[in-house]
Amino acid sequence: MKQPVIAVTMGDPTGVGPEIIAKALRDSEVQHRCRPLVLGDPSVMERALAITGEPLAVEFLDDGIPPADDRTDRIYLRSLSRLSPGDMVFGAPSPASGAAMYDYITTAAKLCLAGEVAGMATAPINKEALNRAGHHYPGHTELLAELTGTDQFVMMLAGDRLRVALVTIHEALANVPQLVTFDRVLSTIRTTHRDVNRYFRPNPRLAVLALNPHCGEGGLFGNEEARVISPAIAAARAEGIDAVGPLSADTLFHFAVQGGYDAVICMYHDQGLIPLKLLHFDDGVNVTLGLPIIRTSVDHGTAYDLAGTGKANPRSMVAAILLAARMAAVRDGDGEP
């Protein structure tokens, strides 16, 4: 079986990223399905192995990719930073660690664009440290969109039982109504349909949520459904996309998790992430749709309260790496959605 090379970015060196990577790379399915290449800091990786007790050796690759062999006792790492002890304090990210996070992400994107790796899976970052280092982005998604020259992108969170795609991402709730526009809703439906169809389920059925309670109750609670969301759904259906709605969020997820829909288009962050994390708190995966590269990520943050304890759950990291490998196999004709 072909094993795609997946670049795994270390994320915040002062958070749980290195530890969950150490644990994930010991997972037998990860070792069987792909060849991970960690992009990060050697001292941080060695510390994570000591903390977790995982019996892996670090082998450095200044260039090239991990060999196609049966070695399951090592981590292949490309060293992109040499942080000082003061920049490795758990829970205390610095501008230097923020700059390192940026380098890990940009290198992975470049490797993906050049075809040197099949996809990338990212550990969590600290957005404040990223900005303190001079890189002003709300998160991975927006940075990767810029690096790849992508205008139309969608954050989708996925688990075995539920997939949610977001029209707006990290926005103040008070700003959401003005950001839910016809163009934005239609673009989200199109991008979600295209990539879910390509990677997950042919001819997917999409549920599109309302913004307001009870779909606005005929305008009593808001008019975004009639003015914006319904016309966007109609336009998508005219293009042959199987999208239905607007539907009330308070009831829709009951039917979605029973298999009635292949993805749910949500108007704002918590509308989608609350049910997703209720079902997939440990194994949810963040997938960026619309990019010319494959990018997955853990669906959690840096978890500073657990950093350095060795107790962080690696299931989301495992799921992110495996999903990137599966998507790469589908794209390259070695698997089916």
pLDDT digits (tens, 9 = 90+) for 291-330: 999 999 999 999 999 999 999 999 999 999 999 999 999 9
Checking if the pLDDT of 173 tops 80, the result is yes
CATH number, domain with residue 106: 3.40.718.10
Phi, psi values for residue 304, rounded to 5°: -60, -25
Tell me what pLDDT residue 138 has. Answer: 81
Rounded average pLDDT over 67-73: 80
- Mean of all residue pLDDT scores within the chain: 94
| Cα 252 from Cα 14, distance rounded (Å) | 39
Q: Which domain holds residue 303?
A: 1-150+291-337
Sign of CA dihedral 108, 109, 112, 118: positive
Helices and strands (H and E) in the chain: how many: 13, 12
Q: Let me know whether 106 and 130 are in one domain.
A: yes
Q: Let me know whether 118 and 183 are in one domain.
A: no
Q: Let me know whether 230 and 112 are in one domain.
A: no
Q: Let me know whether 114 and 7 are in one domain.
A: yes
Quote the distance between the C-alpha of residue 157 and its chain's center: 7
Confidence bin at 72 (pLDDT 50/70/90) = confident
Residue (of 213, 205, 208, 223) closest to 250 by Cα position: 213
* DSSP assignment string, 176-243: HHHH--HHHHHHHHHHHHHHHHHHT-SS-EEEEE-SSGGGGTTTTS-SHIIIIIHHHHHHHHHTT-EE
Q: Let me know whether 13 and 67 are in one domain.
A: yes
| Cα 261 from Cα 258, distance rounded (Å) | 8
Q: Let me know whether 11 and 145 are in one domain.
A: yes
Tell me what pLDDT residue 201 has. Answer: 94
- The 3-class secondary structure across 122-153, one letter per residue, is ECCCCHHHHHHCCCCCCCHHHHHHHHCCCCCC
Partner residues linked to 265 by β-bridges: 165, 208
Which positions ≥6 away from 328 have C-beta within 8 Å?
A: 4, 6, 34, 118, 119, 294
Rounded average pLDDT over 108-128: 96
Checking if the pLDDT of 65 tops 90, the result is no
- Strand pairing category for 263-266 and 163-166: parallel
Q: Let me know whether 274 and 163 are in one domain.
A: yes
| Cα 307 from Cα 320, distance rounded (Å) | 20
Q: Let me know whether 166 and 258 are in one domain.
A: yes
Q: 3-state DSSP call for residue 174? A: helix
Tens-place pLDDT, residues 219-267: 888 899 999 999 999 999 999 999 999 999 999 999 999 999 999 999 9
Checking if the pLDDT of 46 tops 80, the result is yes
Q: 3-state DSSP call for residue 25? A: coil
Residue with tokens 């009635």: 260
Tell me what pLDDT residue 1 has. Answer: 60
Q: Let me know whether 312 and 224 are in one domain.
A: no
Tell me what pLDDT residue 277 has. Answer: 94
Q: 3-state DSSP call for residue 312? A: coil
Q: Let me know whether 253 and 239 are in one domain.
A: yes
Point out the least confidently predicted range of 67-81, 90-104, 145-159, 221-235. 67-81
Tell me what pLDDT residue 64 has. Answer: 84
Rounded average pLDDT over 276-298: 95
Q: Let me know whether 23 and 104 are in one domain.
A: yes
Counting the structural domains of the chain, the total is 2
Q: Let me know whether 317 and 182 are in one domain.
A: no
| Cα 300 from Cα 122, distance rounded (Å) | 11
